[in-house]
Amino acid sequence: MALLNILQYPDERLHTVAKPVEKIDARIKTLIADMFETMYEARGIGLAATQVDVHERVVVMDLSEERNEPRVFINPVITHKNGETTYEEGCLSVPGIYDTVTRAETVTVEALNENGEKFTLEADGLLAICVQHELDHLMGIVFVERLSQLKQGRIRTKLKKRQRQNM
């Protein structure tokens, strides 16, 4: 397993729309293992392949405190949304930035697991938020782009300032 580099907003590669996985082979299984290792190391709860510059429809998640409930979504599609809720989100690609985003309260997602088996998941609460957040990444959308233009501008300025300070 290997730690992967997480792209940082506003990197244009984060806006690449991911392509479906054609075949679940050793390469995809290695990618999944590396994504879990990267996500756990970064102390995240979800990671989309787009964030590690692999533009295929793969997402990993683990919302458990003990990090013992890994979930894999290959070629995920939200088939149903219901209700509306707000949640303060953060993102491994936008470190240190948190803001409130409006999303569906519940979602139904269809995907394949790491063995190529199709499953359907009905999600609410944090899991529903995380599913929507990560599937946005696969569509080339970063959560800050769901905020007002004013907030987006402030975040870009803050991140550019931080990048200059770290040089």
Q: Does the annotation list 130 as a binding residue? A: no
Angle formed at CA 154 by CA 150 and CA 158, multiple of 5 degrees: 170
**Non-local CB neighbours of 89 within 8 Å, separated by 6+ positions:** 98, 99, 100, 101, 129, 133, 143
Q: For tokens 């679940």, what's the residue? A: 24
66 is catalytic: no
Catalytic residue selected from 56, 84, 134, 145 = 134
Measured CA to CA in angstroms, residue 61 lies from 80, 150, 151 at distances of 20, 30, 27
137 among annotated binding-site residues: yes
55 marked among binding-site residues:
no
Q: Tell me the C-alpha distance between 14 and 67, whole Å.
A: 26
Separation between Cα atoms, residue 162 and residue 17, nearest integer Å: 27
Which residue ranges make up the annotated binding site? 91, 133, 137
Which residue ranges make up the annotated binding site for Fe cation? 91, 133, 137
Residues known to be catalytic: 134
